[in-house]
Structure 1
Amino acid sequence: MALDEWTFYVTGKSLSDTKLLAKVREFDVIVDEPAEIGGTDEGPNPVEYLLVALAGCLNVTIRGVAGEKGIPVKALDLAITGKLDPAKFQGISKEGRAGFTEVTVSVYLEADAPKEKIEELLREVEERCPVTDNLKNATPLRIVLKE
């Protein structure tokens, strides 16, 4: 059975050189830069939000796959580190991509299952989490000018 594609929608209003007010469903979200690089530090920056999206996606996917496999989750903690070379973003380099150079996810998963089953579960999660897939495979992006 084929499922219909899901569509997600976010709007944003630029408030300054570093700050954006985004609307996600009925939620207002501030995106900003730290004060030390010219922002007002009123919210996470876009890169940090991407890591939050990854953490949220992994939480849902890990718990979903564990449920499918009959593995009860007792505790789940995630720690994510993303490394970014700002040279492309800042225009210093014209080569390579502007994305993360490395993302490391540390997962603490307490569950009633042997370690091999947990590792198998995590491999499946990596394949099924949409945010992980986007980070790894760079989903095509289209930017158009709105008239």
Structure 2
Amino acid sequence: MPVEKFEAVAESVAGLKVSCHSREFEFFLDEPKNLGGTNTGMNPVEALLSSLGACKVIVAKSFARLHKIKLNSIRIELEGELDTDGFMGKNPEAKIGFSKIITNFYIDADNTDEEIAEYVEFINRTCPVADTIENPPVMVSNIIK
């Protein structure tokens, strides 16, 4: 199967507010006021959690029939633990990014608890965003003038 390429552009708007573009879509990320932003959008780590949750919901909905899951509804809540002293340089021992991400699945399905638990394992294994976090890709940075 061919490799699919995805692209995104992030550009400073004002202060810490960032315009994010991909295909014909745009959204804004910002920081809360207590972290120097204007609180006009999620911050990047909140967007990461949202992307992870959305990816898991999409996997769940896309594969439910194939796995004989009679999915009535699904909601995923995520919580990430991040020591801001790492990012702010106050504690060189602190991890800069999330040290823990908790996913809570709220699934209404006409299946047994065991079937749902097995399906959640499948969702976690199959989610591309989860895989990217758990198995980091090669990161390349280019400076273009």
Q: Normalised by the size of structure 2, how large is the TM-score?
A: 0.91
* Aligned amino acid, residue 40 of structure 2: E
Q: Which position in structure 2 is the counterpart of 1:130?
A: 128
- Which 5+ residue runs of structure 2 have no aligned equivalent? none
Q: Aligned to 2:34, which of 19, 36, 39?
A: 36
Contact 1:83 1:103 survives alignment (8 Å): yes
- Quote the residue 1:52 is aligned against: 50
1:138 partner letter: P
Aligned pair count reads: 145
After superposition, the CA RMSD in angstroms is: 1.5
**Equivalent in the alignment of 1:24:** 22
**Counterpart residue identity of residue 97, structure 2:** G
For the 8 Å contact 2:20–2:27, the answer to whether it is kept is yes
Of the candidates 79, 93, 102, which is equivalent to residue 100 of structure 2? 102
> CA distance change for structure 1 residues 140 and 97 in 2, over 3 Å: closer, same or farther?
farther
Q: Which residue does the alignment assign to 1:113?
A: 111
Match of 2:6 among 8, 11, 16: 8
- Structure 1 residues 78-93: aligned runs within 5 Å: 78-93=76-91
CA contact (8 A) 1:22 1:29 kept: yes
Structure 1 runs not aligned, ≥5 long: none
Q: Distance in 1 between matches of 2:138 and 2:88?
A: 22
Q: Secondary structure at the match of 2:137?
A: coil
